[in-house]
Chains A and B, each alone.
Chain A
């Protein structure tokens, strides 16, 4: 401080010079400069008038550069430049807390919110040694609360943006606030928790998502079903390559299927239909993607698992022929009433969710799963227009409501209707990237 004799003057309860002004300015930091009169009062030490006037003039100056610097550009250099400009501005000492608050608010806009050096810069603005309480009794009285709040604000912003403090941060904080202060405690806590919490997400998204398109579709598919065996195939590349595909010439089609699903599909049997359902939403941070699912109905109970085959294993018995069940103390299953859901055979994400594109997806799937060619595929899209791609005979297909998922009635299978197994085969074999499947009753 410039006036060492002022130390012996009586201080206010909250300690520090110009505390009431600073308190008020911190409260008003988001509003334009208010009350020169209110700020000028109560400042009994030197620089009073100068400070008040400079504060009043400094406020618009302060407000200006952080926002003005946006025009110059973003980044740590711009931020440092803005701070340097403000440092040169007179009256920095008293309005320091307000300055720091304003800078904190401006950091996201400048793009330095995740830059630790920027926060160090801010911390270096604060005075060292002044706000360190001397002695245990001063510590007892909770000294410099607003200043410690300011330090805490800085640290809180660091925490919110996931910036892990450094040894240097801690050193700066120690210099400013002293070893037993709240900011230093908070820094210790951050040093404990933040490194841990960084690894807490088992499926982290990459920090910057690619623009919505093929790459996000890949990400999304991998996120929904993280099966390491699954093959994610691009059935159609988008034309144009980037950008939003609504209304583009050729929307992208990305599908995923794993070998287990292929097996299930091959065992599903061509007599029972499979359904293309969708679109279901998937949110990746703030992007919404939609995916479609190829699903079948669950087997009715009388067609389920085969009875145990005694001649299955050559070496040891797979089933014991005893009448004993598992005891209740060892029974780890819970009595859960599960809703029966049919098997999901494949998933896809498309640029435009119309039947034409989805038909192309089915055609692409058919190359790996030939049984799809003989299976009727029912499109249950969310827009309420159910169509059967494999029944050209104008068969009365039950009209479904817009809701995609329906409870399935599990009864014995209906006798197969004569509808176009062969014709659906024709459309399938004719299908390929080019021909859309003929669909009457649309």
Chain B
């Protein structure tokens, strides 16, 4: 299948990547002063020039337009290195992963020929303008308008966008605005269109850079458009098709966050281990204490799984035929952002007071990591996306079966009852992962079996949820959150098992360590999944959703904390 064996790249590609990796690493280690960038809230122009010389501004642009033309996997690999400095990573990502992706994916050849060469060399920087003060994920509330001029040769763009990365530096903006479109029914409708807007078109102004908690070197500001003339040739896709363009852009840039976080955590583990193995307290090295060891194991497991998921997704996306890996990319993003936040917290904790000081980079990493949970789709929204897309897919398949059950067909009901009985008695699930003909290496058998069991019971749970809620499950966010958590864990387990299996089979260095990490992760994830699945059953004691909603309602009614003070008396 697509997942086993773990996607590999050929030797030539591997050599190519390693050739890129060397100079970039050298550049980041020597010439990038992250502390100064963080303090000044600005990336110095020499650094930017260095990045442009290395070609990092055009990583995914095809070579014919002057870029490096890297595949997704190689892009992920380089992302591991650029993530050493959060601001630079975000600037590059805003430029390539979203800023010029629109032109790459949906642009015509003229647009590509016109804009991509200069974007690849870094002469022009790109930015992605979608968010407005009143509209975060709600596309219908965009207020920026683009009206067709009388001669029909250009659009007049009016509006303002907020929190645009690279807003101050960029010359080329991908702007989304509302246009009036005549539907095929002949009705006049307001639809979103994507435009390529150059700063030279006039009327483009930007505010001062926002003072942020983390990624302070990245330039984030408001951008205002006043009667900006945009020629019709600069429409990306078709007029009124901006929604699809936006969705494709957003869904395709997410997977690199996995490898970026993994790279950062690997570096953190090095630095922190150095400290833990040298510092002594109570006449013992810190590394000999169990709690510290647990933290290191946690960081290593998270880094391993993040890497596996990211490269698995990149490998899947690199297959011919442009497969739609948006759900997998979303899963990678959620897991990596939360994992990175937890790991950086733990690393800072190992250092104790020193980690809190500005002299050490940990607090900067912590602040930079916090934004990962928010941008590129907040984790809550992505959980909804993962769960609902899965439900849609499952629903299409299961609709008939569920309807039959509801109708009360005796034979079907009996079949259901028997299978439920078998479930309770503990059934043996076999999807072909483990065993003699299995794709998983024998030392990962246990984890494989756990994965299979989880998958089977998850299927049963989803069926139960669909028959309970039907299409109104959209409103049950607490249920969907659990479903999404289970799915993310399942994908993570799959990726880890696949990669460890390949490691053993080939004989990579330290493959037994990988197997160990995989087994640890799979056991933990197995228990978490089982707990989530018990919570999803009807009338489960572990399910606190109703109480949670009730308490939240009481708090929100009064818009304050409503309990009396513990020191209050009544008489």
Contact = CB atoms under 8 A, between A and B. Distances in A.
A311 B192 contact: yes
B137 A313 contact: yes
Interface stretch (B5-13, B72-80, B384-392): B384-392
A130 interface: no
B470 A325 contact: yes
B570 interface: yes
Given A322-B392, A324-B402, A330-B468, A195 B570 contact: yes
B238 to A, nearest CB: 14
B138 interface: yes
B395 A319 contact: no
Interface stretch (B197-205, B243-251, B314-322, B340-348): B243-251
B339 interface: no
B475 to A, nearest CB: 10
A166 interface: yes
Contact of A329 (B384, B399, B468, B570): B468
A198 interface: yes
Most B CB atoms within 10 A — which of A195, A311, A329, A330? A311
Contact of A325 (B246, B396, B471, B559): B471
Given A228-B559, A321-B392, A315 B382 contact: yes
**Residue with the highest number of chain B CB atoms closer than 10 Å, among A228, A313, A315:** A315
Contacts of B406: 327
Nearest to B473: A320
Contacts of B385: 315-317
Contacts of B396: 322
B395 A314 contact: no
Interface residues of A, number: 30
Contacts of B377: 315
A318 interface: yes
Nearest to A316: B385
B246 A314 contact: yes
A324 B403 contact: yes
Contacts of B470: 322, 324-327
Interface string B179-198: 00000000000011000000
Contacts of A320: 388, 391-392, 395, 471, 473-474
A325 B389 CA distance: 18
Interface residues of B, number: 39
A323 B396 CA distance: 9
A164 interface: yes
Contacts of B250: 314-315
B571 A195 contact: yes
A391 B518 CA distance: 80
Interface in B463-477: 466-474
B125 to A, nearest CB: 23
B246 A319 contact: no
B213 interface: no
A330 B471 CA distance: 13
A309 B137 CA distance: 14
Interface string B253-296: 00000000000000000000000000000000000000000000
Interface in A265-321: 309, 311-321
Contact of B395 (A316, A324, A326, A330): A324
B462 interface: no
B140 interface: yes
Contact of B191 (A165, A198, A199, A311): A311
B139 interface: yes
A228 B402 CA distance: 45
B538 interface: yes
Nearest to B406: A327
Nearest to A229: B559
Given A324-B403, A324-B466, A317 B392 contact: yes
A327 B476 CA distance: 14
Interface string A320-347: 1111111101100000000000000000
B474 A318 contact: yes
Nearest to B191: A311
Nearest to A195: B570
A191 interface: yes
B351 interface: no
A82 to B, nearest CB: 27
Contact of A327 (B137, B243, B246, B469): B469
Contacts of A166: 571
B474 A327 contact: no
Contacts of B389: 316-317
Nearest to A317: B388
A312 B142 CA distance: 10
Contacts of A318: 474
A198 B472 contact: no
B381 interface: yes
A198 B571 CA distance: 10
Interface string B361-388: 0000000000000000100011011001
Nearest to B130: A314
A316 B402 CA distance: 24
Contacts of A195: 570-571
Ranked nearest first, the 8 interchain pairs of A and B with the lowest CB-CB distance are: A195-B570, A324-B470, A316-B385, A322-B395, A316-B384, A311-B243, A320-B471, A325-B470
13 contacts: A164-B571, A195-B571, A199-B570, A311-B139, A314-B139, A314-B243, A315-B137, A316-B381, A320-B474, A322-B399, A324-B470, A326-B468, A327-B467
